[in-house]
Amino acid sequence: MHTTLDLSQYNDVTAYADAVHRSEVHVDYLPTPQAVAHRVREAMDDRHLSMEQVAKEAHVSIQAVYSLRDSGLSSLREARRVFAVLDIRVHAYPVEMVPLSL
């Protein structure tokens, strides 16, 4: 059995109009400590969170949050916890974080 589909009624906009749309997930590329610090400050400002609130929700010391916000450095474990609270999805971590995690 063969079916013929008339595609003349479709254009670039309507061809996928019925397709399920997935929400886009933003993933950050943070290769340097400066990029990390900037993104952490930006996320905290967007969510109107204090460093104390972030530290409490992430179960890390407030010094770890200060360090991430100011210098962009902490252990990977602490960084991942803070990023989870701030809804930061990361593609790459700075290599400078690795020695802090050993």
Whether residue 84 is predicted with pLDDT greater than 60 in this model: the reply is yes
**Residue 61 in tokens:** 């010391």
Distance CA 94, CA 35 (A): 9
- Contacts within 8 Å (CB) and 24+ apart, 15-18: none
- pLDDT by residue (tens digit) across 19-32? 555 555 577 888 89
Whole-structure pTM value: 0.72
Q: How far apart are CA 6 and CA 9, in angstroms?
A: 7
Beta bridge partners, 92, equal 29
